[in-house]
Structure 1
Amino acid sequence: MGLDVRRLLELHTWRAFDVDDEGRVLAGSDETGRVQLVELAADGTATPLPHLTGVSTAKYVKGERAVVVEHDSGGNERGQLSLLSLGDQEFTPLVHDERYIHRLMGVLPGRVVYATNRRNKVDFDVAVRNVFSGAEEVVYDRGGSQLDAKLSPDSRYLATTIGADQANSMQLLLLDTMPETEDDQVVELTGADEETNIGHVGWLPDGSGLIVTSNRDREFKAVARYDLASAHWTWLVAAERHDLTGWLSPDGRKLLVMTNVDGVARLTVHDGTTGRQLDEIQLPADGWLSYPLPDPVFSPNSRYVALTFSSPTIPMDVLLVDLDSAKVTSLTDTGSQQAGLVEPTHVRANGQIPCFVYGSGTSAVLFLHGGPEGQSQRRFDPLVQGLVAAGHVVVVPNIRGSIGYGKTYYAADDRRKRLDSIQDLAVLHDWLPSIGVDPAKVALWGRSYGGYLVLAGLAFLPERWAAGVDIVGISSLVTFLENTSPYRRRLREREYGWLDRDRDFLEEASPMNKVDQIRAPLFVVHGANDPRVPLSEAEQLVAAVRGNGVECELVVHDNEGHQMANLDNKLATYPRAIEFVTRQLA
């Protein structure tokens, strides 16, 4: 059937973390089996940097040949910060305490901004640390989960985004580090109870305001300017039916805008003051370039933008955009590694559910994304390609609750509407015969929240599925919320429901409480160090399914967390999972 899944898993990928004024890109490559730092020159010449385990992101220290790196151990997501001198190629611990999380928020000349939960393991404070002397100041300690934090150019103000009360909503706060009175210290730019999603936030170069991506008082995300003096919002760039994300250049002259068109990225350059479109960036293919990939990043002089780009046939490349000419250069070429990769078609199943459809045949796999505030985009996935190579149609849907289709759509599965989204699986199953699929030969595959959907589908719609693959999935919403890491509980309760007042529904929506209805064979994968969905979620499910006499395989990796990062573990697990599905659908 063509492609070998082991070869697909071995295709290496690149990601862009930062770019300097000469067009050198600080990148990550997984060619060794785990992400390692590499510096890419503007002509594509690669210089490997010293090895460090568990790299998640890195940034140049402006004005120095030095790099700040965030890294963890065994997938535990407890990020530590280290300083790498590019001169002597040595790492120095910068902020290390394995008991706590340290999230890299930004790097300024000689300083690093980071968020940490070391005060109580729940709330995240924001600190600014001198990378050379070690002197440190905590600039925010009022609680919440910090999702972003940006210091103003004069370092007086901090714009920070924290989780708000509503599902998939954030609150934007402005902190004055030198207030006239204590009451003036924090200003709420958006309310805690607003249904507002905040995306990228950046400062105007003179510190007079912010450029904010948000759907405040809108159905779709747009790009606005907030003026500090007048407290006035001005929408600069908006689209009637699509989410936008904007990134302002350091000099404030240009605004890079990505339009999300059904999971395909369109990239344009706009005037940073008026929002008027200046250029369209020609990307190599219809693909994707933002979350869950690294966001685009500007060089300090505003000339260059480094992109991480992926399409179904391009695993993950680093692109360098010269904004003086709008020229795009691919510094890597991951698409040449493998011929025969399959492009999808985009459809709306039953006229309503957006889907990418890969391949053709009489057996099918529904490949379900996580989140639930996530989106399946038009980008490379070795497992999708491997399932197609094994002879299956792979349908990659964005059921209700997915982002990218407006505020109403992503809120359609919140809390007590959770089971409504399960009915979308039934709609998809009813639609599959229209594309030639035998309804008796359909499997579910998903990771994280997608794993919950797999288990819920098997438990609540048991007659429809021939098999399921659950990767780091939730089996009980109650035990998940009780046992997830303390810093995550409130953020997840606002999405799924509150233990103290919604327990009855959380029990109702938990596959564990319908486990006796599961009749399809299961393949379960989990990381022992998962801080989000504890291993106990898999263990209790597998014990119950096996106790009912249903075939259930379990694979646990002791050196993995919520993401499977090690190539050897991928090679030991995913070919088995695809073989399992293929056997069940034969």
Structure 2
Amino acid sequence: MRNTSMFAVGFIAFTAFISSCQQQATTSQPAAPATESAPQAQATAPATKTYTIEEFMATTSIRGNAIATDNSKVLYSSNQTGIYNAFEVPVTGGEPKQVTSSTDNSVFVISYLPDNKRILYASDKGGNEITHIYLHNPDGTSRDLTPDAKAKSEFAEWSHDKKSFFYISNKRDPKFFDLYEMDVASFTPKLVFRNDKALDLGAISRNKRYLAFTKSITTNNSDLYLYDTKTKQLKHLSKHTGDIQYRPETFTPDDKQLYFLTDEGQEYTYLKSYDLATGKTAIVEKAPWDIMYSYFSRNGKYRVTGINNDARTEVKIYETATGQPISLPAMPSGDITAVRISDDEKLMSFYVNSSKSPNNLYVYSFDGQQPRKLTNTMNPKISEDDLVEGKVVRYKSFDGMEIPALLYTPKGIAEGEKRPALLWIHGGPGGQTRLNYSPLMQYLVNHGYVLLAVNNRGSSGYGKTFFAADDQKHGDADLKDCIAAKDYLNSTGFVAEDKIGIIGGSYGGYMVLAGLAFAPDEFAVGVDIFGVANWLRTLQSIPPWWESFREALYKEMGNPKTDSAALYNKSPLFFANQIKKPLMVLQGANDPRVLKVESDEIVAAVKKNNVPVEYMVFPDEGHGFVKKENEIKGYSAILDFLDTYLKKAPAEQTRTSGQ
């Protein structure tokens, strides 16, 4: 179980959601060089159909998957009903079957039970992030297995014999996640590890003797620990100086070695082993990018590795006995993500996704058959030919640092035509916008907006130097990366220089507010989706379950007790009088990360400037919108706002609005 970077989790439709989920992909295309010439408009623009937000949202979003132990079906979550519910589909293909019938809170699948009739799923209340683990029965009833109303519980993994599963919960102390094991015959939990040191669980050995943990020191520095449940000893495995990351991944099937990720002596994370008997370490696997994860199939026949290859995930599957990569048939075009291997190691389920096609579920048999597509999630009224593939580009920032970005160019731009543009800023601050499908992205591009998704300094996936380059410089160096992006857009020749706006969610929402407040003449409009306005309040009110990386967060962003002046100066709320361009704000009322009061106050402050401000609050959402009805309302309103104040606004208005 791993904690993700601050605000990156939650905005499902807005970021690629780099989480502790195991995401994989096919071999990626090479990145565009920094000196690549800008795309040219066509002399004769072909006709491109535009679509409504209802049509885009009629595309189904699916996530999570688990193969039944008898290889008969695959379980997944789908928002086909307007909210995420559990569905299952036969591995031979056919019509998916709805398993749960929630109408209020999203259901996110975990696994089948060994009987293949019951399932485990996770759910919270209206996006409050107090997740519980539920058992769903064939008769349609569900039982909360972790019923403490104030406690957050998260599934960790099954025991190897499938007679129990492990989960973490903060029911004893809101700040700390203890490890429990729940017997599936009686569904009674027992405490396995009392966590009083704010450790994060990483791996459990198959014989249940060893637990591996990571301890966050800063966002660039962590430690590795091994706990022996037999001797009750906690051993520090990574004594070091300087900033080095250590993260446990998995134990080998024979329980003799611990595999872990580290960037020790390297720019990118790589895989190493630790021998439990001798204490010796050895390099297992390296790549020219960050290795994101590596894990073994249930009986150890295969090892799967995911590599963060320039905003795409590259997947490699090795035969454990030989260490050699296995030969796979031609796979569907796109990123292959969320690979799951069946218990008997005969089947593999996975998703295929690209920037212009949503997730679809596939199954592949290791006997060499061609992969079988099990879902068709794209709205049949939408043609992929009308959508736009993202393109990796790079540009130089104010200090010469090279900034990676993803460019989406609308189809049908005629020679000499100038289009409005948006900078798209991800959450995090250590997130990364990736080449995955986003209905909002495609909706905006389909309606004529050039979109540049900026992976500014501080983004993950580009090495530890780049990741650390924004520490204590938020709202300054990273904002300058966004301002420099305007020069790149202007160089394309098809962007209207005075019609460049900025949009972002979570930390990206903060960047929107920072851009409008600290560089008030740079961006024509801003769309803030639950962004931080007051860092002093946000850092003082972070959820108690973030205790394991509270200090790391403070060291990156600033401590509200000792760095109050710096945090005040990077908080847009206190400089809202400088905002003079139109602003739109969207907020979930149940957001535990960026409290609703943050948006309330920035909206009230900006309105005093006689600046156009639009504000939407969703009472049944948290830090991320997961209900289709709300997404339709919110995304439609965003386009209306942009059309009014960016696309159709006279140039003079975009320069002087609010003055």
Q: Does the alignment pair 1:475 with 2:537?
A: no
1:343-395, CA deviations, whole angstroms, 9 ceiling, x for partnerless residues?
A: 12221123821111112452101111111121111111111111112211011
Question: 1:128 aligns to what?
Answer: 181
Q: Does the alignment pair 1:410 with 2:467?
A: yes
Q: How much has 1:505 moved relative to structure 2?
A: 1.6
Q: Does the alignment pair 1:248 with 2:300?
A: no
- Contact 1:16/1:306, CA 8 A, preserved across alignment: no
Question: 1:427 aligns to what?
Answer: 484
Q: Does the alignment pair 1:177 with 2:238?
A: no
Q: How much has 1:63 moved relative to structure 2?
A: 5.5
* 2:486 match: secondary structure: helix
Q: Does the alignment pair 1:560 with 2:627?
A: no
Query: How many residues are treated as equivalent by the alignment?
Result: 575
Question: 2:44 aligns to what?
Answer: none
- Contact 1:469/1:522, CA 8 A, preserved across alignment: yes
The amino acid that maps onto 1:36 is N
- Contact 2:166/2:182, CA 8 A, preserved across alignment: yes
Residue among 18, 24, 37 paired with 2:73 = 24
* 1:440 match: secondary structure: strand
The amino acid that maps onto 2:376 is D
* 2:593 match: secondary structure: coil
Indicate how the Cα distance of structure 1 residues 4 and 116 shifts in structure 2: closer, same or farther if over 3 A, else same.
Answer: same
Indicate how the Cα distance of structure 1 residues 551 and 102 shifts in structure 2: closer, same or farther if over 3 A, else same.
Answer: same
Q: How much has 1:405 moved relative to structure 2?
A: 0.7
Q: Does the alignment pair 1:313 with 2:362?
A: no
The amino acid that maps onto 1:254 is Y
Indicate how the Cα distance of structure 1 residues 242 and 146 shifts in structure 2: closer, same or farther if over 3 A, else same.
Answer: closer
| Distance in 2 of aligned mates of 1:148 and 1:142 | 10
* 2:145 match: secondary structure: strand
Q: How much has 1:198 moved relative to structure 2?
A: 5.2
Indicate how the Cα distance of structure 1 residues 226 and 144 shifts in structure 2: closer, same or farther if over 3 A, else same.
Answer: same
The amino acid that maps onto 1:442 is I
| Distance in 2 of aligned mates of 1:170 and 1:309 | 33
* 1:386 match: secondary structure: helix
Residue among 186, 194, 203 paired with 1:150 = 203
The amino acid that maps onto 2:267 is E
| Distance in 2 of aligned mates of 1:401 and 1:5 | 32
Question: 2:365 aligns to what?
Answer: 322
* 1:315 match: secondary structure: strand
| Distance in 2 of aligned mates of 1:221 and 1:62 | 35
Question: 1:55 aligns to what?
Answer: 107
- Contact 2:524/2:581, CA 8 A, preserved across alignment: yes
* 1:325 match: secondary structure: coil
| Distance in 2 of aligned mates of 1:213 and 1:280 | 26
Worse-superposed segment, 399-408 or 309-318: 309-318
Q: Does the alignment pair 1:39 with 2:97?
A: no
TM-score normalized with structure 2 length? 0.82
Residue among 432, 440, 456 paired with 2:514 = 456
The amino acid that maps onto 2:312 is V
1:414-452, CA deviations, whole angstroms, 9 ceiling, x for partnerless residues?
A: 234652111101110122110121221011110001101
- Contact 1:129/1:136, CA 8 A, preserved across alignment: yes
Q: What are the within-5 Å matches in structure 2 for residues 161-172 of structure 1?
A: 161-162=214-215, 164-167=216-219, 169-172=221-224
- Contact 2:86/2:109, CA 8 A, preserved across alignment: no
Question: 1:343 aligns to what?
Answer: 389
Q: Does the alignment pair 1:104 with 2:155?
A: yes
Indicate how the Cα distance of structure 1 residues 236 and 154 shifts in structure 2: closer, same or farther if over 3 A, else same.
Answer: same
The amino acid that maps onto 2:127 is G
Q: How much has 1:465 moved relative to structure 2?
A: 0.6
* 2:615 match: secondary structure: strand
- Contact 1:221/1:245, CA 8 A, preserved across alignment: no
Question: 1:540 aligns to what?
Answer: 601
Worse-superposed segment, 279-288 or 118-127: 279-288
- Contact 1:123/1:487, CA 8 A, preserved across alignment: yes
Which structure has the higher relative contact order (CA within 8 Å, separation 6+)? Answer: 2
- Contact 1:467/1:521, CA 8 A, preserved across alignment: yes
Q: How much has 1:526 moved relative to structure 2?
A: 0.6
| Distance in 2 of aligned mates of 1:152 and 1:335 | 40
Q: What are the within-5 Å matches in structure 2 for residues 211-230 of structure 1?
A: 211-230=259-278
| Distance in 2 of aligned mates of 1:168 and 1:448 | 21
Q: How much has 1:282 moved relative to structure 2?
A: 4.4
Q: How much has 1:513 moved relative to structure 2?
A: 2.2
* 2:277 match: secondary structure: coil
Indicate how the Cα distance of structure 1 residues 147 and 35 shifts in structure 2: closer, same or farther if over 3 A, else same.
Answer: farther
1:39-95, CA deviations, whole angstroms, 9 ceiling, x for partnerless residues?
A: 121122322213243223412234654322111110111011111234x44322211
Q: How much has 1:476 moved relative to structure 2?
A: 1.4
* 1:480 match: secondary structure: helix
Structure 1 residues without counterparts, runs of 5 or longer:
290-294
Residue among 63, 69, 75 paired with 2:127 = 75
Residue among 349, 353, 374 paired with 2:403 = 353
- Contact 1:151/1:159, CA 8 A, preserved across alignment: yes
- Contact 1:263/1:378, CA 8 A, preserved across alignment: yes
* 1:441 match: secondary structure: strand
Q: Does the alignment pair 1:119 with 2:180?
A: no
| Distance in 2 of aligned mates of 1:478 and 1:155 | 42
| Distance in 2 of aligned mates of 1:310 and 1:495 | 33
* 2:144 match: secondary structure: strand
- Contact 1:418/1:496, CA 8 A, preserved across alignment: no
| Distance in 2 of aligned mates of 1:410 and 1:206 | 35
Q: How much has 1:258 moved relative to structure 2?
A: 2.2
Worse-superposed segment, 556-565 or 7-16: 7-16
Worse-superposed segment, 436-445 or 106-115: 106-115
Question: 2:3 aligns to what?
Answer: none
| Distance in 2 of aligned mates of 1:263 and 1:20 | 31
- Contact 1:269/1:281, CA 8 A, preserved across alignment: no
Question: 2:655 aligns to what?
Answer: none
The amino acid that maps onto 1:187 is K
Aligned-residue CA RMSD (Å): 2.3
Question: 1:292 aligns to what?
Answer: none
Worse-superposed segment, 70-79 or 112-121: 112-121
| Distance in 2 of aligned mates of 1:168 and 1:309 | 31
Indicate how the Cα distance of structure 1 residues 363 and 483 shifts in structure 2: closer, same or farther if over 3 A, else same.
Answer: same
Question: 1:487 aligns to what?
Answer: 545
| Distance in 2 of aligned mates of 1:288 and 1:512 | 42
Question: 1:235 aligns to what?
Answer: 283
Question: 1:298 aligns to what?
Answer: 341
Question: 1:382 aligns to what?
Answer: 439
* 1:458 match: secondary structure: helix
The amino acid that maps onto 2:253 is P
The amino acid that maps onto 2:93 is G
Worse-superposed segment, 95-104 or 328-337: 328-337
Residue among 107, 118, 143 paired with 1:66 = 118
Question: 1:443 aligns to what?
Answer: 501
| Distance in 2 of aligned mates of 1:71 and 1:107 | 19
Q: How much has 1:215 moved relative to structure 2?
A: 2.7
Structure 2 residues without counterparts, runs of 5 or longer:
1-48, 411-417, 649-659
* 2:521 match: secondary structure: helix
